[in-house]
Amino acid sequence: MPLLLRALALVARAGLTVVADLVGPRGCVACDGPLAQAAVFCGGCGVGLEASRPDGGRSLAPFAFGGPLREAIHRLKYGDRPDLAAPLSELLRAHVRREPGFSDVELVVPVPLHPSRLASRGYNQAALLARGVARELARPCCTGALLRVRSTSAQATLDQAERRENVRSAFSVVDASAIRGKSIVVVDDVITTGATLEACAGTLALSGARAVRGLALARAGRVSDPDRDRPRSSRGSER
């Protein structure tokens, strides 16, 4: 993306966050219903939240991708609702507070969108979530560390092996000196097969990152679910 556009996008995203912080009180992230103080989901939606099953890998996601959380993430990504990122990142912040494995993190990096996708959506939902994680850890959030150099559209229609192939070499490091020797957490909204986070981690490791782990709000439980992580309105791509 040209530098000017990039700068404008950054300003726009920063502005949205400020507005979201100022607007409150807010509604339920899944249904806009009334909320108890400091809650993220209303009582009705909250009962549908499911913890994820640990997969033994190096990526963490506190919740299963389904029910009200799936609805909230769809609204965040496809419903032009960047304001939902702040309350949703509260869930990640709470997770980071509980998990001991984040104490050595030095840098927070969101999974980037391809510039064309960023231009059409106007914001990167992973970057908005990552900012909350960085604030919690009191570490910098480096939105420009990774660049998505290859569009990986139509990811949702691919099987696991095809997804891995599709995202391999999709990312590149912008400034290796900012990465070298660092312990990094890469933030995304949903882990489906894990291929995207693995590709990001591999790219960062090649640039000398000391340790990389992944963090997302939710993990898809059923890889065979053909409709997972797809926008309701358009059968487009995953991101």
Q: Does 88 bind Zn ion (CB under 5 A)?
A: no
Closest CA to 172 of 137, 217, 214, 204: 204
CB of 71 to Zn ion, least distance (A): 8
Residue count of the chain: 239
Which residue among 9, 20, 40, 45 contacts Zn ion (CB under 5 A)? 45
Q: Does 73 bind Zn ion (CB under 5 A)?
A: no
The secondary element (H helix, E strand) that includes residue 116 is helix 115-121
Query: DSSP of 152-216, one letter per residue?
Result: -TTGGGS-HHHHHHHHTT-EEES-GGGTTT-EEEEEEEEESSSHHHHHHHHHHHHTT-SEEEEEE
Query: How remote is the C-alpha of 168 from its chain's centroid?
Result: 18
CB of 101 to Zn ion, least distance (A): 31
Query: How remote is the C-alpha of 89 from its chain's centroid?
Result: 9
Closest CA to 182 of 198, 203, 199, 205: 205
63 has which bridge partners? 51, 218
Q: Does 195 bind Zn ion (CB under 5 A)?
A: no
Smaller CB separation from Zn ion, 42 or 209: 42
Smaller CB separation from Zn ion, 20 or 45: 45
Smaller CB separation from Zn ion, 40 or 141: 40
Q: Does 69 bind Zn ion (CB under 5 A)?
A: no
Q: Does 42 bind Zn ion (CB under 5 A)?
A: yes
Smaller CB separation from Zn ion, 76 or 215: 76
Closest CA to 63 of 88, 35, 38, 82: 88
Q: Does 31 bind Zn ion (CB under 5 A)?
A: yes
Choices 9-17, 24-32, 158-166, 218-226 (CB under 5 A): range interacting with Zn ion = 24-32
The letter for the amino acid at 166 is: N
Two tokens at 45? 């939606």
d(CA 153, CA 210): 30
Q: Does 122 bind Zn ion (CB under 5 A)?
A: no
Q: Does 28 bind Zn ion (CB under 5 A)?
A: yes
Q: Does 158 bind Zn ion (CB under 5 A)?
A: no
CA 163-87-26 angle, to 5 degrees, is: 135
Which residue among 30, 84, 96, 142 contacts Zn ion (CB under 5 A)? 30
CB of 45 to Zn ion, least distance (A): 3
Q: Does 33 bind Zn ion (CB under 5 A)?
A: yes
CB of 214 to Zn ion, least distance (A): 28
Smaller CB separation from Zn ion, 40 or 111: 40
Smaller CB separation from Zn ion, 84 or 191: 84
* Tokens 């291929």, residue located: 195
151 has which bridge partners? none
- Applying CB under 5 A, the residues found at the interface with Zn ion are 28, 30-31, 33, 42, 45
